[in-house]
Chain A
């Protein structure tokens, strides 16, 4: 337990082409590697076994990778699918992909791209990968408000809506990105 009163059992951060688990760098790529190459290299390193990854947009890839890094290390065990929830937030919603889709409209609008023009699809991808069927919520706010997210997670746990939560920030806009994801258990 920490000051939030929550049982945080793991944390991951992805920034500047480095992946941290529990505040330790566990993998990194060159800082000037473009985001798509970084994401592909991270996928090859941590998974390599989920071809649908390549179809995802950057937001979903980042969230999916963070969940992968956490759950490979410490899987959620002993929870029913509907007991695992997701509480995420970011600043730009799906704007990064919205603009890419906008660009595709000029020639042939891509249905595969349009699918990702919603912020919460990243939660769908994580839920599909791990079979989580519990409550999902996605906030959009100017900055990473950890207190709000932690308090809401605490509420969900207290109310019994879920027993385990992935909670954090998944932001991407162009080449700028940041992921902070916590694993929280009852």
Chain B
């Protein structure tokens, strides 16, 4: 163990392919993506766009999370994944540590706010104010921290689809500066009519299951969920009898500085994030074992990301896949969910499949991995998260002894 390492001890996920990590891995193993007609969200677009919903109503999620059912689904999902993450880390009583919770989200309590407005617009006496008081992104994190008894450090990050990855970066820095002993970092976002309408107006929703990195791709499917990893600093790791999944060895964030929503054609922001994260991890392109792509399935993202990857890796692109072909795009949660998958890939030697792939992209020389495998030699994994606002992040997870 060298001076300033950050160790990943566990993770938790709830998303459209599983209510916990083992269920998600089973879905990959059985090639079962989670796209369906919407069942829990009410929308005029019900029959137009498949979505990847968490397969449970709010009452069921409330029981699992320990929060009341009238609370925003964003908070319910968060609490469930945070609990799983904490339990998997096997650290015992959370109150015995200085714990920080760094959580990302982009929609806040929008699901409740839109219900409020639907009633309010019909009759301005009838909306329930209780539904809007927890709208702000920050109050979702506070709610979850309170339920778990986390008091030392609580913060919320909102940088679009790279929010969770940025939360993990921030969490790692809290540890490196000894501000807390343990960090739970990741993010959450529930599916809402608001986001569905918005992505529809941007005309980037696929009417079928999305096809990331496929030449025939036409857009993304929206998903929902939450994902968190538990990290500790080197100093704490030395004192405890721990069995870490892996280390977080590199991270970087860069701004594409091109357009509010579109990625630059050469993916300069993507390139800078990946290149700087690898530099921090002290590895070269040939050391990379697997890339968990941002891979939304839009024409623009996959081309920019692919172009940046080819520039960085040349003709030797490592195995790569987009797990959004199973989970859909969970927006602010995606970086957290995919960080759990990436960290677990290092621990178990997993390579995740990219579903719905059949046509090689003309502009690229590589194609994604299409079947699940385990027991591979995985030393370093990169997880990409690129968001609107040009916000590009890459994380690198590495084997303990690398």
* Direct A/B contact, Cβ within 8 angstroms: yes
The reply to whether B388 and A133 contact each other, CB–CB distance below 8 Å, is no
Interface range for A: 35 or more
Name A128's contact: one of B113, B157, B200, B258 (CB within 8 Å).
B258
- Whether B136 contacts A136 by the Cβ 8 Å rule is no
Q: Is the CB of A120 within 8 A of B391?
A: yes
Interface residues in B106-135 by Cβ distance below 8 A to A read 106, 108, 110, 113-114, 117, 121, 135
Query: Are A136 and B198 in contact, CB atoms less than 8 angstroms apart?
Result: no
Instruction: Flag if B255 contacts A124 (CB, 8 Å).
Output: yes
Asked if A134 is an interface residue, CB under 8 A from chain B, the answer is: yes
Question: Complex Cα distance A19/B260, Å?
Answer: 26
Q: Which of the segments B75-83, B158-166, B207-215, B352-360 contacts the partner chain?
A: B158-166
Specify which chain A residues have a CB less than 8 angstroms from the CB of B113 in the assembled complex: 98
Residues of B362-402 whose CB lies within 8 A of A = 387-391
User: B173 contacts which chain A residues (CB < 8 A)?
Assistant: 152, 155, 159
* Contact (Cβ within 8 A) B158 A140: yes
A114 and B198 contacting across the interface, CB-CB below 8 Å: yes
Known: A118-B158, A120-B387, A142-B138. Is A127-B257 also a contact (CB below 8 A)?
yes
**Pairwise interchain contact A137-B252, C-beta atoms closer than 8 A:** no
- Beta-carbon nearest neighbor of B203 in chain A: A111
Contact partners of A86 in chain B: CB under 8 A: 255
Main secondary structure of the interface of A (DSSP, over half): mixed
B138→A128 contact, CB < 8 A: no
Q: Are B155 and A93 closer than 8 Å at their CB atoms?
A: no
Task: Tell me whether B389 and A120 are in contact (CB under 8 A).
Answer: yes
Q: A127–B390 contact, CB under 8 A?
A: yes
Binary flags per residue of A81-118, CB closer than 8 Å to B gives 1, else 0: 11000100001110100100110011001110011111
Q: Would you call A69 an interface residue if the criterion is a C-beta within 8 Å of the partner chain's C-beta atoms?
A: no
Which A residues lie within 8 Å of B276 (CB)? 82
Q: Tell me if A180 is interfacial: C-beta within 8 Å of chain B.
A: no
Which of A91, A125, A148 touches B138 (beta carbons < 8 Å)? A91
- Residues of A bordering B, CB below 8 Å: 81-82, 86, 91-93, 95, 98, 101-102, 105-106, 109-111, 114-125, 127-128, 131-142, 148, 152, 155, 159, 161
- Given A82-B254, A140-B136, 10 additional A-B pairs, CB 8 A: A111-B202, A114-B198, A115-B260, A118-B158, A118-B160, A121-B260, A121-B388, A124-B389, A136-B159, A140-B138
